[in-house]
Structure 1
Amino acid sequence: MRRLARFLVLLLPYAWASCAAAQTSTVDPSDATLSVEVLEQAHTPFPSEMVTLLIRGEYRRHITREALEQPDLEGFNWTQLGPDRWTEERIDGKLVKVMQRRMALYPERAGTLTIGAFTHHLTLTDEGDDWFSHDIRSSPVTVQVAPGPELPDGAWWFPAKRIEISDTWSNPPDQLQPGEGVLRIIRIKAIGATPEMIPPMPELGSPSGMVFAHPEKRLIELSPEGPVSYAFWRWTIQPGNDRSAIVEPLRLSYFDTEARVLRDVTISAQRVAYDAATLPAPPLTRAASAVLPGWPAALAGATALALGLAHALSGWRPSVDAVRRRLPMLDPLARKLRQAARADHAAGTRRAAAALLRRDGAGSDRQRLLAGLDRALFARAAQKPDLPGFARAFLQAAPDTKR
């Protein structure tokens, strides 16, 4: 016991000297240090790709108050990855207070960007136990940023470590009750990206459905590997008819910052339908009754039959052209001529008349009528012709009888 007492008496001056050195207004540079480090990456980052920054302070003095001031970080977007972390570490055999802050920086452009000095404002204690202010600063650091890859026109630049997509429905989309809609929610989870980096909510298309878009929601969580951002896209969908509708697929592109490749994600199409068991049975439809041709067609058929029998009995067999000339209602060219004339279509009327001339021969009466039509259509003092009257006269005029 006496030996222990002697040892403590001998140790007391050294302990007092150590405390006196710690509680002094003179601060040795090694008593408080501040450093900024860009954590090493296997590649040169692209614009908007996350760069992790570690701010570390080591303190061998008692600290009464502190505040870490960061520079403007011009050329970067940034977010802090959680609160400052204070611990004690044994360095060179002595316990040292250690402060660490992690930040995610997102460069806004390619080139060499500078991160300015961080300043740690400290309040320390002197020999008289009075407080005094003391600042320490880090050295500036630079970051090299490479130009981003070429993108298709209109594509959204979306770099992320990885993304996860979920597609959920409030109830089975193909088993809706009559008049009911269904809520669709697509959740985008992006690791290593901030919420504004996620593409805007797209339009959900459906040719035969009614789609009502809801305001999107965006959230952020902080994690050691970077921010985790969420986007929620929501639509209420209802079939636009009495049965079903198809919701078109959605497509999303992002840059995988770990694999260094552009990736495309497709959210498949979906059928939205009412439950067939709840729908009323479709009404029975009666088969359409047959409609017999009118009396003009019947009369023409009977006349053709009578002429055929008469000529057969007399030993002469009529040609098809002869029957057409005698029965204009059976002649397709004659029908075209009458239809074009009724529609007041001059060009169609002339084409049909010229076709009849080529087939039947150019009789003098028909040539005269066609020449009169041409004069009415193409003369300098052109007049609107009577097309229905022309068609009647042309069909009544005799064709070339030598054919």
Structure 2
Amino acid sequence: MVRRPPLFLVPLLALLLLALPAAAQDSLRLILPKMQPVVGEMIPVTIRGEYTGWIALEEMTFPDSAGYDWIQLGPDEWRDERVEGRSRRIFQRHVAVFARRPGSLEIGPVSHHLTKAEGNARLPAEVIAPPVSIDVQPYPAPGTPLVTRSLKVTDDLSGDPARISDDQTILRRITLTAEGTMAHLLPPRPELRERWLISFTAPERRETRLTERGPVAFVQWEWHLRPITGEQGTLPPMRFSWFDANKREMRGDITRPIPFGYGKQSENLGGAAMVPRGLAWQALAALAAGCLAGLALLLRDRGFRPVRDLQRLWHRLRPNRALPALRAAARGDDLFALRRAAEDYVRAERQAGRQPRPTAIARLDAALFGPVPAPDFDRAGFLRELTGR
């Protein structure tokens, strides 16, 4: 005779049978921190697995995506741990994800292929972590995103460019070091071009170094610089804008301007056997200016004062050779190119004995090197203010 269990025990036994497999079930999940990242900011992701049994082999697949870059931050961690009173084999991997665009970013799913050992048998198993999502905010400035906890910019020179000798070459080396980002997310090599200077660029160095604080990105640029004319010049500052991941604000680092002395001493006044063509034109211009000034004084003494008309006539007779390039730069979008063209214009004005308005240059420098770059700089107004036309 077979005895059946009491009816009130049937539901209890069913619950116990359902609970036993769940207690021994393997699990894998993705853990995201509570944050509001911007485009390009490091999002730390922890992959945590809780397994039972003896694991002989394992292989994890983290998916690539057009929506993000990623890098593993260190070796995998394995340890034994008690979870809800049961012994589990714990797996953890730390990954950094960098979103490429704003919006909802989906990470995963992640697959972990396991081979478990039970006696002499090897049993394959696959555990999958479901995808997770996080909202990514737009980068709060135009241009290529650069988000870092800190940015260090060094600008080294192999000699004093203000006292450069004939045919001497100076090595300039700029190094950027940024915490919490990857090397390919650092800005590209800046352009370094001046009509009075010849430069030879060395191949850049980029690398990402893993540290206890996370990834550290590194890039280094080198230029071999040699002036090729007899005039003095100044390399303008370079600005590197970045978003401070700690203070949650935009910041900027600026290199110093670098003045160069005379590059070709044989083309200067002290060492020239013949007067250069440019100086001859300047001498003729000075002679014409003297004649016009004398004529203006003579007419003024006789009660005739067309000084403004004479000034306009002088501008027509001796135009600034840098004015066409300045006008072309004012029509473009590159404020640094406009700053270089304005510097050439101011230099030519001073060589001709005229003093341009300094407020225009000050406004342009404030737009370029101020705490927050001006997105809509009035180029036409700047041109009128600087040239007085």
Q: State the Cα distance separating 1:205 from its structure 2 match.
A: 3.8
Change (3 A) 1:157 1:129: same
Counterpart CA distance in 2 for 1:263 and 1:173 is: 29
- 1:185 equivalent to 2:177? Answer no
Q: State the Cα distance separating 1:35 from its structure 2 match.
A: 1.7
Counterpart CA distance in 1 for 2:168 and 2:141 is: 45
Kindly indicate whether the alpha-carbon contact (under 8 Å) linking 1:156 and 1:253 is maintained by their aligned counterparts in 2. no
- 1:35 equivalent to 2:1? Answer no
**Which amino acid is the alignment partner of residue 86 of structure 1?**
W
Alignment TM-score, normalising by the size of structure 1: 0.55
Kindly indicate whether the alpha-carbon contact (under 8 Å) linking 1:31 and 1:60 is maintained by their aligned counterparts in 2. yes
**Which amino acid is the alignment partner of residue 73 of structure 2?**
L
- 1:55 equivalent to 2:47? Answer yes
Q: State the Cα distance separating 1:183 from its structure 2 match.
A: 1.0
Listed as ranges, the matches of 1:329-344 within 5 Å are none
**Which amino acid is the alignment partner of residue 152 of structure 2?**
E
Kindly indicate whether the alpha-carbon contact (under 8 Å) linking 1:113 and 1:142 is maintained by their aligned counterparts in 2. yes
Aligned length: 255
Kindly indicate whether the alpha-carbon contact (under 8 Å) linking 1:71 and 1:118 is maintained by their aligned counterparts in 2. yes
SS in 2 for 1:143: strand
Counterpart CA distance in 2 for 1:64 and 1:28 is: 22
Structure 2 residue aligned with 1:64: 56
Which of 210, 219, 224 matches 2:198? 210
Q: State the Cα distance separating 1:67 from its structure 2 match.
A: 0.5
Listed as ranges, the matches of 1:206-355 within 5 Å are 206=194, 208-241=196-229, 245-273=233-261, 282=270
Structure with max Cα Rg: 1
**Which amino acid is the alignment partner of residue 147 of structure 1?**
P
The CA deviation string for residues 327-374 of structure 1, in whole angstroms up to 9 with x for no partner, is xxxxxxxxxxxxxxxxxxxxxxxxxxxxxxxxxxxxxxxxxxxxxxxx
Q: State the Cα distance separating 1:224 from its structure 2 match.
A: 4.4
Counterpart CA distance in 1 for 2:21 and 2:165 is: 77
**Which amino acid is the alignment partner of residue 198 of structure 1?**
L
Q: State the Cα distance separating 1:144 from its structure 2 match.
A: 1.2
Structure 2 residue aligned with 1:107: 99
Counterpart CA distance in 1 for 2:191 and 2:166 is: 25
**Which amino acid is the alignment partner of residue 173 of structure 2?**
I
Q: State the Cα distance separating 1:187 from its structure 2 match.
A: 0.5
**Which amino acid is the alignment partner of residue 249 of structure 2?**
V
Counterpart CA distance in 2 for 1:246 and 1:100 is: 54
Change (3 A) 1:243 1:69: same
Kindly indicate whether the alpha-carbon contact (under 8 Å) linking 1:166 and 1:187 is maintained by their aligned counterparts in 2. yes
- 1:139 equivalent to 2:110? Answer no
Alignment TM-score, normalising by the size of structure 2: 0.57
Could you list the runs of 5+ residues in structure 2 that have no partner in the other structure? 1-19, 274-389
Change (3 A) 1:148 1:242: closer
SS in 2 for 1:45: coil
Which of 59, 66, 76 matches 2:68? 76
Change (3 A) 1:187 1:150: closer
Counterpart CA distance in 2 for 1:273 and 1:82 is: 50
Change (3 A) 1:170 1:85: farther
Kindly indicate whether the alpha-carbon contact (under 8 Å) linking 1:56 and 1:99 is maintained by their aligned counterparts in 2. yes
Q: State the Cα distance separating 1:212 from its structure 2 match.
A: 2.3
**Which amino acid is the alignment partner of residue 32 of structure 1?**
D
**Which amino acid is the alignment partner of residue 183 of structure 1?**
L
Structure 1 residue aligned with 2:108: 116
- 1:169 equivalent to 2:169? Answer no
Counterpart CA distance in 1 for 2:233 and 2:138 is: 44
**Which amino acid is the alignment partner of residue 103 of structure 1?**
V
SS in 1 for 2:270: coil
Change (3 A) 1:209 1:240: same
Could you list the runs of 5+ residues in structure 1 that have no partner in the other structure? 1-25, 286-403
Counterpart CA distance in 1 for 2:106 and 2:53 is: 31
SS in 2 for 1:282: helix
Kindly indicate whether the alpha-carbon contact (under 8 Å) linking 1:209 and 1:246 is maintained by their aligned counterparts in 2. no
Counterpart CA distance in 2 for 1:174 and 1:97 is: 66
SS in 1 for 2:54: coil
Counterpart CA distance in 2 for 1:225 and 1:284 is: 59
Structure 2 residue aligned with 1:85: 77
Kindly indicate whether the alpha-carbon contact (under 8 Å) linking 2:153 and 2:253 is maintained by their aligned counterparts in 1. no
The CA deviation string for residues 91-141 of structure 1, in whole angstroms up to 9 with x for no partner, is 567664322211111222222222222111111122x42111011121221
Kindly indicate whether the alpha-carbon contact (under 8 Å) linking 1:209 and 1:247 is maintained by their aligned counterparts in 2. no
Counterpart CA distance in 1 for 2:101 and 2:177 is: 25
Cα RMSD (Å) of the superposition? 3.4
Q: State the Cα distance separating 1:226 from its structure 2 match.
A: 3.4
**Which amino acid is the alignment partner of residue 124 of structure 2?**
S
Counterpart CA distance in 2 for 1:40 and 1:81 is: 19
SS in 2 for 1:196: helix
Percent identical: 30
Structure 1 residue aligned with 2:139: 148
